[in-house]
Amino acid sequence: MKKIKSSRMKVLVLNSGSSSVKYQLFNGSNKKSLVQGKISNIGTDEAEIWLKRDKGNAVKFTKSILNHELAIRQILDSLLNKKTGFIKDVSEIFAVGHRVVHGGEFFSQPTIITDEVLARIEECSQLAPLHNPAQIKGIQACQKLLQGVPEVAVFDTAFHQTIHRETYLYGIPYAYYEKYKIRRYGFHGTSHYYVARQASKLDGRPIQKLKIITCHLGNGSSLAAVKHGKCIDTSMGFTPLEGLIMGTRSGDIDCSAVFYLMRQENLTIDQADSILNKESGLKGLSNNSNDMLKIIEHSKKGDEQSQVAFDAFCYRIKKYVGAYTAAMNGLDVLVFTAGIGENSPPVRAKVCDELDFLGIKLSNLVNNQTIGVEKMISKDESPVKVWVIPTNEELVIAEQTLNVIYSDVKQEG
Ligand code: AMP
């Protein structure tokens, strides 16, 4: 392991999807974000490149980028750009932190990527076929382009590994858990961890003393019950399909309804899978859109389907808030985050409506004024504090990447 020169130490965070790569470069010494960007439509002649420097305007252009390796090469080129870049040489990239969606039961901590770790991540691809293979491509591209730079995998599932057996097991024959590891894993762990930690900082009470429910409400949505700093339950399950009604995902549904539908419509497994993951949720219920902004717009104009989609979305969240309050024997802090949670006062108001018996008293005035910023939106006298906290998964990935590498250096002596 090379000697660390903190003034020149940068951490690159990568989030690779099937046709996109998001990235952010952090200054390792103060964890300040220097630049963030996204390349989408990878695999086409018209890949979209977007980047925004700290204190700068966003830049957007298109270019042919045919695979993940070329996308990461493009990212490195822009970081190295003599006029507008942030590094003079790739050696300034001290480490790369990768978001990895599924770590199965193998990983409860961020982990330095070795051949053995990569093989385990590959094994977990069966559990997250849309995500892990893309993230493996990102890891392999970095292994090639940034030889010798340590890479760390930060798992979405890791924060939920503290959930107890009676909570993560499904009521199916135990042999299927043993044979196929069918159980609740949970996702969005890095986001739930960040906002729970931030809520305790803002609230001024140690996380070890708090019972927190975090609501990550975006295109994919999940709740987590965080008791005394540890996740004890979360709404997504074996896959990110379970739990809340989402943009295009159904969330909880009676499995027999799916069997019935398959028989009635003569559907294949893949077709049923696609309906539940891509045609359901807000999109399916509203007959219109997966976009909460549009759902609200259409509801205001009197569109009943959009109204029912909005109501169903909010009701499901409220139901989980009640369940998790019971699971924790109380609630101190409720947090809203992600695209909808951070930006939608109507959703937050509807979820918190008539929860005064739980001690949730929202300030309508502050709620309506709060969009995309850290703010307490409950009344001062509310026993449960309600916060809006913009999530920052990339920062957590950068921090955890550095921590893992520092502890590895220490262990080496
Ligand atoms: P995410 O997956 O976290 O990027 O969140 C995407 C979701 O956030 C989409 O459903 C957007 O419609 C929703 N969203 C973003 N801005 C707003 C807003 N101002 N009001 C309601 N929903 C919003």
| Atom nearest to 290 CA in ligand 1 | 10
Residues 223 and 353 in one domain: yes
CA of 245 relative to ligand 1 center, distance in Å:
14
Does 403 map to a domain? no
CA of 118 relative to ligand 1 center, distance in Å:
33
CA of 17 relative to ligand 1 center, distance in Å:
19
pLDDT confidence band for 409 (50 / 70 / 90) = low
Q: Given 45, 89, 115, 156, which residue is catalytic?
A: 156
At 104-121, the pLDDT tens digits run: 999 999 999 999 999 999
CA dist., res. 373 & res. 353, Å (int): 22
Residues 129 and 233 in one domain: no
Closest residue by CA, ligand 1 atom 8: 339
Q: Residue 212 maps to which CATH number?
A: 3.30.420.40
Closest residue by CA, ligand 1 atom 18: 343
* Mean pLDDT within 333-355: 98
Does 335 map to a domain? yes
From 136, 155, 174, give the residue that closes a domain: 155
Residues 149 and 221 in one domain: no
Closest residue by CA, ligand 1 atom 4: 339
Residues 255 and 347 in one domain: yes
Residues 222 and 362 in one domain: yes
Number of structural domains found in the chain:
2
**b (16+ CB within 10 A) / e for 308-321:** ebbebbbebbbebb
Residues 360 and 282 in one domain: yes
User: Please, how many CA atoms are within 13 Å of residue 348, restricted to the half-sphere of its CB?
Assistant: 36
pLDDT at 4 over 60: no
Residues 234 and 115 in one domain: no
Closest residue by CA, ligand 1 atom 9: 291
CA dist., res. 349 & res. 27, Å (int): 38
CA of 411 relative to ligand 1 center, distance in Å:
43
Q: What is the DSSP string of 164-219?
A: -HHHH--SS-HHHHHHH--S---S-HHHHHHHHHHHHHHHTS-GGG-EEEEEEESS
pLDDT at 1 over 50: no
Does 163 map to a domain? no
Q: Please provide the distance, in angstroms rounded to a whole number, between the alpha carbons at the two ends of the chain.
A: 11
pLDDT confidence band for 5 (50 / 70 / 90) = low
Residues 151 and 266 in one domain: no
pLDDT at 3 over 60: no
Structural domain of residue 13, as residue ranges?
6-155
**Structure pTM?**
0.93
Higher pLDDT, 84 or 365: 365
CA dist., res. 329 & res. 42, Å (int): 47
Of 229, 153, 195, which Cα lies nearest the Cα of 404? 153
Does 192 map to a domain? no
The proportion of the chain whose per-residue pLDDT surpasses 90, expressed as a percent, equals 88
At 54-74, the pLDDT tens digits run: 778 898 999 999 999 999 999
| Atom nearest to 220 CA in ligand 1 | 2
Does 213 map to a domain? yes
CA dist., res. 283 & res. 281, Å (int): 5
Residues 211 and 143 in one domain: no
| Atom nearest to 217 CA in ligand 1 | 3
pLDDT at 385 over 60: yes
Does 93 map to a domain? yes
> E strand or H helix at 360, and its extent?
none
Does 188 map to a domain? no
CA of 292 relative to ligand 1 center, distance in Å:
6
Average confidence score pLDDT of the chain: 94
Q: Which of 188, 244, 293, 317 to mutate to test the pocket of ligand 1 (most atoms within 8 A of CB)?
A: 293
Residues 143 and 216 in one domain: no
| Atom nearest to 296 CA in ligand 1 | 21
CA of 269 relative to ligand 1 center, distance in Å:
30
Q: Which of 343, 373, 388 to mutate to test the pocket of ligand 1 (most atoms within 8 A of CB)?
A: 343
Examine the residue annotation and report whether 54 is marked as an active-site residue of this protein.
no
Q: For 359-366, which contacts have Cβ atoms below 8 Å and span 24 or more sequence positions?
A: 359/331, 359/383, 359/384, 360/331, 360/334, 360/384, 360/386, 362/386
Residues 211 and 149 in one domain: no
CA dist., res. 101 & res. 37, Å (int): 20
Number of residues that make up the chain? 413
CA dist., res. 124 & res. 103, Å (int): 6
CA of 8 relative to ligand 1 center, distance in Å:
36
| Atom nearest to 294 CA in ligand 1 | 12
At 8-23, the pLDDT tens digits run: 789 999 999 989 999 9
Where does ligand 1 bind, in terms of residues with CB under 6 Å?
218-219, 247, 291-293, 338-340, 343-344
